[in-house]
Chain A
Amino acid sequence: GQSLEQPSEVTAVEGAIVQINCTYQTSGFYGLSWYQQHDGGAPTFLSYNALDGLEETGRFSSFLSRSDSYGYLLLQELQMKDSASYFCAPVTGGGNKLTFGTGTQLKVEL
């Protein structure tokens, strides 16, 4: 079957670094996407890993280990505007459809 695990909530202070872990079990896996969603907003694409290793995009980095079915999103120099829900979403199947879990709610405090 399919499963997806992320912490439900993470709290950190402004300027800090936070890591959001994701473990998945799915068939037809192509890669792992990460999306950010603010309350009432649409999911916004952050990063995609098709291969093992680290992808860096500005303050955000994402890592994938296909053999461990594990990935993480690393957010550096946290800002208040980073308070949002973060979803890891395995990309599967011929349609590259995304499978979302319940996400991780990140709260950034002063």
Chain B
Amino acid sequence: DTGVSQDPRHKITKRGQNVTFRCDPISEHNRLYWYRQTLGQGPEFLTYFQNEAQLEKSRLLSDRFSAERPKGSFSTLEIQRTEQGDSAMYLCASSLLRGVRDTQYFGPGTRLTVL
């Protein structure tokens, strides 16, 4: 399967702990996006990369959140000092920008539960 993959699929942690999620995009996709989705809501944009450069971060992304895409391939999203409000599905999407158009393909997500 050559789709977007995310690891882990589920993560349960205690409040105050740090967690890290990984996203492997579709090969050769130059853009990678992170979204967060809570129950009954649509995904909310968090941040995106073009190759290894992080080009935009949402105001939703507090200082406790950091994302990297060191070699322009996989990406990690780290949440420090987790809070119960961080419980959500974290979705990664990738796309290949051609001109001004790209289509985002989503991974299966990592479901985070903070106790």
Query: Could you tell me which A residues sit within 8 Å of B by CB distance?
Result: 30, 33, 35, 41-45, 48, 50, 87, 89, 93-103
Contact = CB atoms under 8 A, between A and B. Distances in A.
A84 to B, nearest CB: 13
Given A98-B104, A100-B43, 20 more contacts: A33-B104, A35-B106, A42-B91, A42-B108, A43-B43, A43-B106, A44-B106, A45-B105, A45-B106, A94-B56, A95-B31, A95-B33, A96-B100, A96-B101, A96-B102, A96-B104, A97-B56, A101-B42, A102-B41, A102-B42
Tell me the interface secondary structure of chain B in the complex. strand
B97 interface: yes
B42 A87 contact: yes
Interface in B5-64: 31, 33, 35, 40-45, 48, 50, 55-56
B56 A95 contact: yes
B48 A48 contact: no
A96 B103 CA distance: 9
Nearest to A87: B42
Tell me the interface secondary structure of chain A in the complex. loop
A98 B33 CA distance: 10
A93 B42 CA distance: 19
A100 B106 contact: no
Contacts of A98: 33, 35, 43, 45, 104
Contacts of B93: 43
B75 interface: no
Given A30-B100, A42-B91, A96-B97, A103 B105 contact: no
Given A30-B100, A44-B106, A97 B45 contact: yes
